[in-house]
């Protein structure tokens, strides 16, 4: 019998994946790391046994946290990624020629090092792009101290357990607000609402007290078990969220790259939320 890895992110429900070949197993600066091969999903990265990303389905997550806010913004030049050590987020952001600089702040240097080695198909050369400024530091600390202003801030975090916890606090979001340009947009990994509803409610409650426009949008990523994942959306500019398919299509047609998930219809539709998710919004 082959080995199976069991992800127990939720106390009463989990997922299991067959480990067809273990490629790396070790302890990072802060978290235990694994990369293995699974026949369906290709290379799989886990941190503390929680699936972070896979070769086969990472595009959905990374495209929706980059192209959507960058195209909604319309004139983004300076992007900040908190987390994102595998380089997948940086790769997608850097595909926009209009992006002049991507600052990526990853807390765990081991994640970057072994992703370069074992998951090069995620970063696709992003670590060598001169527009990438990689900083190994605590993302929350960086956010508090940065004097720069960003057009788009992407929080590519783990779940709010362990090192990722501070990235879901009022203090962190308030520091993020200060680091945004006037028209800037903050987007966040906000968990799978069917399983982690509190997480979304908590973040949105903070957004509500800090930002003029706040909401969530969704996409289904097969290896984030339990239904669609929610992404948080927060900005002080009210013109970004309600765009028509035609407006988004006009902007997207100026890009010279292909996507596998994101497109103008998906962009607009991602903000349409089922009732069980809407009910998690603060009133
Ligand atoms: N970070 C998000 C992992 C979230 C997994 N959580 C879950 N299944 N609820 C992914 C990092 C990819 N760059």
Instruction: Match 């792009």 to its residue by tokens.
Output: 129
Residue among 44, 61, 102 whose CB has most ligand 1 atoms within 8 A, to mutate: 61
Class of domain 4-54 (CATH, top level) = mainly beta
- Helices 245-252 & 58-73, crossing angle to 10 degrees? 100
Pairing of strands 50-54, 42-47: antiparallel
Kindly list the distances between the CA atom of residue 249 and the CA atoms of 152, 265, 281, in Å, as whole numbers in the listed order.
20, 8, 29
Clarify whether 156 is annotated catalytic.
yes
Token output for 271: 């903000």
Residues of the chain with CATH 3.40.50.150: 58-278
Cα 8 to ligand 1 centroid, rounded to whole Å: 13
Q: Is 147 exposed, middle or buried (0-12, 13-18, 19+ CB in 10 A)?
A: exposed
Q: pLDDT tens digits for 172-229? A: 999 999 999 999 999 999 999 999 999 999 999 999 999 999 999 999 999 999 999 9
Count of alpha carbons within 13 Å of 65, Cβ hemisphere only? 31
Q: pLDDT tens digits for 54-88? A: 999 999 999 999 999 999 999 999 999 999 999 99
Cα 68 to ligand 1 centroid, rounded to whole Å: 18
Residues of the chain with CATH 2.30.140.10: 4-54
What homologous superfamily is domain 58-278 in, according to CATH? Answer: Vaccinia Virus protein VP39 (3.40.50.150)
Specify the pTM: 0.97
């Amino acid at each position: 019998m082959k080995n199976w890895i069991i992800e127990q992110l939720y106390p009463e429900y989990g997922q299991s994946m067959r480990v067809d070949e273990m490629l790396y197993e070790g302890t990072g600066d802060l978290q235990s790391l694994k990369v293995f091969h699974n026949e369906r999903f290709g290379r799989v990265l886990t941190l503390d046994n929680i699936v972070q990303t896979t070769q086969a389905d990472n595009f959905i997550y990374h495209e929706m946290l980059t192209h959507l806010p960058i195209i909604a913004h319309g004139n983004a030049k300076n992007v900040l990624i908190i987390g994102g050590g595998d380089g997948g987020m940086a790769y997608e952001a850097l595909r926009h020629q209009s992006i002049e600089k991507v600052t990526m702040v990853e807390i765990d240097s081991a994640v970057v090092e072994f992703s370069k080695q074992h998951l090069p198909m995620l970063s696709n050369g992003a670590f060598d792009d001169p527009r990438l400024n990689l900083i190994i530091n605590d993302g929350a600390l960086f956010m508090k101290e940065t004097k720069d202003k960003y057009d788009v801030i992407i929080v590519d975090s783990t779940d709010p357990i362990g090192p990722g916890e501070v990235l879901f606090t009022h203090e962190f979001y308030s520091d993020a607000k200060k680091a945004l340009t006037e028209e800037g947009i903050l987007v966040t990994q906000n968990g799978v609402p069917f399983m982690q509803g509190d997480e979304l409610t908590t973040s949105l409650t903070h957004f509500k007290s800090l930002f003029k426009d706040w909401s969530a949008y969704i996409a289904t990523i097969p290896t984030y078990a339990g239904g669609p994942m929610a992404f948080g959306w927060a900005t002080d500019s009210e013109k970004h969220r309600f765009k028509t398919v035609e407006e988004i299509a006009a902007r997207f047609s100026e890009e010279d790259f292909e996507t596998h998930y994101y497109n103008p219809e998906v962009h607009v539709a991602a903000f349409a939320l089922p009732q069980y998710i809407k009910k998690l919004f603060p009133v």
